[in-house]
Amino acid sequence: STHDPADRARGLLLGAALGDALGAPFEGRSRVPEDLLDELEAGTGELPYTDDTVLTLVLAEHLLDRGAGNGLHEDTLAENFALAWRAEPGRGWGGAVRDVFGEILAGVHWQRAAGRLFGGSGSFGNGGAMRVAPVALVASDVGEAAELGRRSGRITHTHPDGFHGAAVQACAAWLALSGSPDPTTERRRFLDVVAGACGDPRWFSLLEQVDSATGVSTPERAAELLGNDVSAVGSVPLALLTFLLHPDSPREAVRFAIRAGGDTDTVASMAGALAGARCGATALPERQLRRLEGCSRLYELGTELARR
């Protein structure tokens, strides 16, 4: 791990984007053969990111604009999310969230637009969690990370599974940045602190399942135990497990997440954010970073957010 806060901030953002970009070609595949992943890693072409990173960038820029201690402003953030979708509708967006963005741009309030999805139950997709990591860079404690995670998630994901999932990933990112509890020696405590800060009973038991799964030896088995789909409950636990298995190697974390199949870009992005936050951008594979779309923008944003 690294002790330089700027390196950690850059690692969080670049780890998220790199996981997204490396996972994207395999999204939706139930199995990802290791040689296909080796081939992608060894390549030389650009690594384009997807919706996960588009929205992570919007949130990071919003937090920077808001300045120290000012948290987030939902109306502005909702509009910026929607504008980002309209600017790049081909980035691989979730089906329901596109409707929310369309309605926001047509003048409907985000709360109403998001709340009426799926017959009024709201979305439980992982879209709130996939973009949430930057809130950890401005939260002063794990409780504030949870609160900012929930609030940013609710803009599009009003189902409790969806916004609590965002809170859980936000807490894990905050703890990964802070270095304590240490995920290499205090796994159980790491998960307990996340569960406590989230405060939702359903996530408490999901995080217990993560703890019970730490003995797995293959990504396939991890996916069987915890799921690997586009729901928050079917992907955030796998991302946390991945980080706990590979806390000191962002590259191994991203590879494990992708080999688990399913929602590969999103699980790899969430796991990459956690391992990147702990280890710093200097621990990310340099050759891959040079191929990553938006690398310098993400690097600068990390530097500026760390200064706050």
Instruction: Tell me which residues touch ligand F2R (CB under 6 A).
Output: 27, 50-52, 92-97, 118, 121, 123-127, 130, 159, 230-231, 263, 265-266
Partner from Mg ion, ligand F2R, none contacting 103, C-beta within 5 to 8 A by type:
none
Q: Mark the segment that binds Mg ion (CB under 5 A) among 55-63, 189-197, 207-215, 260-268.
A: 260-268
Tokens for 62, please give them. Answer: 């919003």
Q: Which does 283 bind (CB under 5 to 8 A by kind): Mg ion, ligand F2R, none?
A: Mg ion
Examine residue 265 and tell whether it contacts Mg ion (CB under 5 A).
yes
Which SS3 state, helix, strand or coil, does residue 36 take? helix
Q: Residue-wise over 19-52: b if at least 16 C-beta within 10 A, else e?
A: bbbbbbbbbeeeebeeeebeebbeeeeebbbbbb
Nearer to ligand F2R, 7 or 52 (CB): 52
Cα distance between residue 242 and residue 171, in whole Å:
16
CB 266 within 8 A of CB 23: yes
Dist CA 86 CA 60 (whole Å): 18
50 or 80: whose CB is closer to ligand F2R?
Answer: 50
* Choice between 49 and 256, CB closer to ligand F2R: 49
Residue 177 or 197 with smaller CB distance to Mg ion: 177
Could you say which of ligand F2R, Mg ion, none residue 178 binds, taking C-beta under 5 to 8 angstroms by partner kind? Answer: none
Which residues, in sequence order, are CB contacts of 105 under 8 Å at separation 6+? Answer: 79, 82, 83, 86
What does 124 interact with, of Mg ion, ligand F2R, none (CB < 5 to 8 A by kind)?
Answer: ligand F2R
Residue 147 interacting partner from ligand F2R, Mg ion, none (CB closer than 5 to 8 Å by kind):
none
d(CA 152, CA 201): 20
Binding mask 43-82 for Mg ion (x = CB under 5 A): -------xxx------------------------------
**Which is nearest to 58 in space by CA: 306, 297, 291?**
297
